[in-house]
Amino acid sequence: MMRRFSTSAAVLRRSVANAKPLVLRPPIEPRVSDVNVPEDHPLWQFFADQKYMRTSTELNGVGNSWTIPQLRRKSFDDLHTLWYVCLKEWNRLAREQYIVKQWMSRPSEDTFTDDNSLYTETVNKIRESMWRIRHVLAERYHGYREAGQILGEEYPKLLAEFSKEYLEADSNADAEVTGQLERFQFAFFGINPLLEGNFPEPQVLRGLYAVARLKLARYASEQSQVSDVKDVREAFLLFTCEHSPEGVAEAIESILEVRQAEPVEDELETLSQLMLASQQA
């Protein structure tokens, strides 16, 4: 008796014939309780206190918009933070306001009775605060430009006066003149101690040269190996060294080694690399 091989078609016919009838189950209705959202999910920022909607009582407690005198007392960081706080609140209100409009367009539904005008009023307060933040920043910008023009005209005279006081100060007053030098570099060039928060830009570069030459003249005037600052690497070494004869002496030794290397092609690019290496050290 010859045995037959089953083909795939024959197997499929037998499978279909023996298959049980397909029974469709009712769909599972989605429920809020079935969805677990992490407490730190970014989309929660569009919900005030993680609520779907706020009541009229909660919106009435928002308060007034920020005044210009209040904002003038804030720092740049505070104004920056406040701007984004207002922007996030505006986004929350925009979402809630959209929902209110949807409910108000269905007069047969009485599940929502809040007035849209309350949301509009709150949005206007936020917009007014944001406009005033920009106004205060514009005031500071124009004041900075005007001060820069005045400082540019008076800079040689002011630098000469400070240099005279700094170089003629008694050697026992190093701690005091160190503080004076730090205030000088911040007032004239916006340079923080150890360049914290600064960026490689021409004004910072000019400040490095000015501070380096002052420290070199005060603490190393008697030596003849390094009489001036030739490039940004030398300025950086003197700027970051300790305010003492020993600190400047160590910087001079490093400068003598640097002068054996290739010359600097792009000073701002080199300054960027030096600042990055200093932060990572």
The predicted pLDDT at position 61 comes to 67
Domain ranges (residues) in the chain: 41-155, 169-280
**Tens-place pLDDT, residues 170-191:** 888 888 888 999 999 988 888 9
Q: Residues 119, 59: contact at Cβ < 8 Å?
A: yes
The predicted pLDDT at position 99 comes to 84
Instruction: Write down the mean pLDDT value for the chain.
Output: 84
Q: Which two tokens stand for residue 195?
A: 């360049």
Residue 208, sorted as left (phi over 0), alpha (psi -120 to 50) or beta, turns out to be: alpha
The predicted pLDDT at position 236 comes to 94
Q: What is the 3-state secondary structure (H, E, C) of the chain?
A: CCCCCCCHHHHHHHHHHHCCCCCCCCCCCCCHHHCCCCCCCHHHHHCHHHCCCCCHHHHHCCCCCCCHHHHHCCCHHHHHHHHHHHHHHHHHHHHHHHHHHHHHCCCCCCCCCCCHHHHHHHHHHHHHHHHHHHHHHHHHHHHHHHHHHHHHHHHHHHHHHHHHHHHHCCHHHHHHHHHHHHHHHHHHHCCCHHHCCCCCCHHHHHHHHHHHHHHHHHHCCCCCCCCCCCCHHHHHHHHHCCCCHHHHHHHHHHHHHHCCCCCCCCHHHHHHHHHHHHHHC
The predicted pLDDT at position 7 comes to 59
Residues of the chain with pLDDT below 70 are 1-19, 61, 106-115
Is the pTM higher than 0.85? The answer reads no
The predicted pLDDT at position 204 comes to 92
Alpha-carbon gap, residue 245 to 250, rounded angstroms: 9
